[in-house]
Structures are given as structure tokens and as C-alpha cells.
Amino acid sequence: MNTNAIFENNKNWIAQKLSKDPEFFTKLAKGQSPEFLYIGCSDSRVTAEEVMGLEPGQVFVHRNIANMVPNTDLSSMSVINYAVNQLKVNHIIVCGHYGCGGILAAMQQADLGILNPWLRSIRDVYRIHKAELNAIVSDEEKYKRLTELNVQEQCINVIKTAEVQKASNERNLRVHGWVFDLESGKLIDLKIDFYTILKGITEIYKIDS
Ligand SMILES: [Zn+2]
């Protein structure tokens, strides 16, 4: 496929949207008030809006390799700040996926240059949960479990931010951890216990006074 085909696709998409709603782009241009912030992997197979069945305007999206939320990453921190403080989203979703190349790379011994510090955050997740992960015999199952634990730890990183701590006191904001299963197309809710995690990390990570 060349880039000309993409502009052709775009024309068709415009026509399709307008045939359903002649006001579609007029409304779109007026502004956004999405209810969800989605933090997912850059993997081309895991599209945010499409797998969730959402339309333009319904979800604020941040994607990077392996859906990470490192606390010194200006990009993800800015996205969380804007989504929580300005857009007033009440649901923050961290969505990982099985078959994630980032997770797999972090499980292997290789010098990947600029990717090293990024993947090291995933290795940190492994270290925190080493006993559980090392007890899993099957490599495939270990890979899956690290994917889930990484989502859980990134949810915790979201909860560590001042924005999320403040907003969860003031309104009904919650953080969700999901995994997308490429083989079935299913979104799986890891049922992260937001309030218990928030309570559990308060002693060390409380920022909001
Ligand atoms: Zn991935």
C-alpha cells in the first residue's frame, strides 16, 4: 500500500461519516470531552478506538512501547495531567496485550541501545514479581503473566501521580488495567482493585495533602 491509497481511504471515510451524519465534522471541530484516557502499546495490531468500538472524540489516547508510565517520562505525565485536570476524564485505562514485543524484548538478554532504559522499567516489574514469575514453568505463561503484571504496575504508576490522587478525592475517578488478547480479539479486565492500591501506596506515595 502506498500513501496515495491512504488519501483515497480518507476521502471514503469522510463520505461514509457524512452519509451517516451530515454534521459529523461540524460537531467534531467544536471540541472534545472524552470520558476515557487510554494508555496502550504502540503495536499496530492494538488500535485503541477500534477494539473498544469508540468514535472520534470519545477517548484520549496515549501509546508507547509496552504501555509504560515511567514517572520521568514527560510525554505520558503530560497526557495524564491534561486528561485529568482539563478534560476531566473519570476512567484511565492502561491496556497491555499478549504477544507484546516490548515485554518479550525485556525478557531477553540483548543490548538494544536507546531501548535499554525504556525496557528496564519492564525488567523492574519482573524484579518486583520475580518469585511469582520464576515459579511459572512455561515460557509462554510467564510471558503472559509479565504482561499482566506490567499493566498492574503501570496502573500503580498512574495512581502515584498527584493529578490522579487529587481527582480520586474530589470525584469518581478510577484506574483500570486491561489486556487485549490478539488471538481472540477480546479485551480482558484484570480487575485492578483501584481503591485498595490507592490505600496501599498512600504511606509512601501520597502527594495530595
Ligand atoms: Zn506491545
Query: Cα–Cα distances in Å, from 92 out to 3, 40, 83, 178?
Result: 33, 11, 9, 11
Instruction: Clarify whether 95 is annotated catalytic.
Output: no
Task: Give residue 209's pLDDT.
Answer: 66
The superfamily CATH assigns to domain 33-205 is: Carbonic anhydrase (3.40.1050.10)
For the segment 88-94, the average pLDDT, to the nearest whole number, is: 97
**pLDDT value for 207:** 83
Q: How far is the CA of 45 from the centre of ligand 1 (A)?
A: 9
**Percentage of residues in the chain with pLDDT exceeding 90?**
91
Q: What is the pLDDT of residue 188?
A: 98
Run of H or E residues at 139: helix 139-159
Spatial CA neighbour of 187 closest among 154, 158, 151: 151
Paired strand residues for 175? 92
Which one of 95, 100, 155, 176 is the catalytic residue? 100
Question: Is residue 43 among the annotated active site residues?
Answer: yes
Residues with CB under 5 A from ligand 1 (ion): 41, 43, 100, 102
Q: Which three cell numbers stand for residue 180?
A: 487485549
Q: State pLDDT tens for residues 141-195.
A: 999 999 999 999 999 999 999 999 999 999 999 999 999 999 999 999 999 998 8
Strand partners, 36: 59, 91
The pTM score is: 0.95
Question: pLDDT tens digit string along 109-146?
Answer: 999 999 999 999 999 999 999 999 999 999 999 999 99
The confidence score (pLDDT) of residue 1 equals 86
- Distance (Å, rounded) from C-alpha 135 to C-alpha 145? 11
Per-residue pLDDT at 107 exceeds 90: yes
For position 199, what pLDDT does the model report? 87
Domain layout of the chain by residue ranges: 1-30, 33-205
CA dihedral sign, ordered 117, 122, 125, 127: negative
pLDDT value at position 77? 98
Q: What is the pLDDT of residue 27?
A: 96
